[in-house]
Amino acid sequence: MPNFAANLSMLWQELDPYQRFEAAAEAGFTHIEMLFPHELNPDRLEFILHRLGLTMVLFNPAAGNWAGGERGLLSLPGREVEFIRAMRDAIQLALRIGTTKLNTLVGVPPAGVTDEDAEAMVIANLLRVAPLAQEAGITLLVEAINNIDMPGYWASNVATAAHLVESVHHPSVRLQLDQYHAVMANEDPIACLHAHMPLVAHVQIADVPGRHEPGTGSQPIGEFLKDLDRAGYEGYVGLEYRPLVDTPTSLRWLRTYTTRLR
């Protein structure tokens, strides 16, 4: 079975961000992921990761004015300088803390931006920063996010995200396959996996409905994980779900799998 990484932006939300690292280590995880670690103190972040023996396998670079509704910079015309600056900062932090994958959010294009313009902007921006990532040994990811949870997000299905990756055609640009978002976009995540497996470099899971832990909804997540294994996936599976009750209770489903928490 795949190795699991705790998503510290979703799990242990009752704790402050730094306490979540402690909780993840106490639960047996050695690998984690989160959204925006640039909001934390970098010295304290580096220290706590080292002290606890945790590796942050993935994080999201700064994604524009999140509080104001922006959800990424890749598709936003006129924001190229800001995007490149955010990516340089993210790569610098990733090198410092040992992260090898960055989820570059496509975003919500402003009114008046056509689909053709948005696609061209995403591809051009990724081509600008892919050589920087490659030099640093970092992989940039493109993720599909459904339009129910995130209205207007341009890469709203896996097929679109995969098309962007294929269009960039760079070894340092790959696909992040989120099983939950695929289901919410009326896609079959197992079919998406088989269709795009050569592009997949990171996976995330949550049940539907509710975006809670596996077993709380209707999705065959166990089969999805088995297919990951059969396909030879060697990356991490991020637990990006909201616990139905609390995080310790939500982790009980893992006991049904013969795998280590990683």
Q: Which residues belong to the active site?
A: 143, 240
Spatial distance between the Cα atoms of 124 and 80, rounded to a whole number of angstroms = 9
Helices (H) and strands (E) in the chain, counts: 9, 8
Helix/strand/coil for 38:
helix
The DSSP 8-state label assigned to residue 82 in this structure reads H
Q: Is residue 162 within 8 Å of 223, Cβ to Cβ? A: no
Among residues 36, 98, 47, which one has the least CA distance to residue 72? 36
Q: Which residues of 210-239 are buried (b: 16+ CB within 10 A; e: fewer)?
A: ebbbbebbebebeebbebbeeeebebbbbb
Spatial distance between the Cα atoms of 137 and 226, rounded to a whole number of angstroms = 29
Task: Read off the tokens for 134.
Answer: 């490659």
Spatial distance between the Cα atoms of 230 and 60, rounded to a whole number of angstroms = 28
Residue type at 181 in one-letter notation:
H
Spatial distance between the Cα atoms of 65 and 12, rounded to a whole number of angstroms = 25
Spatial distance between the Cα atoms of 127 and 136, rounded to a whole number of angstroms = 15
Q: Is residue 27 within 8 Å of 261, Cβ to Cβ? A: yes
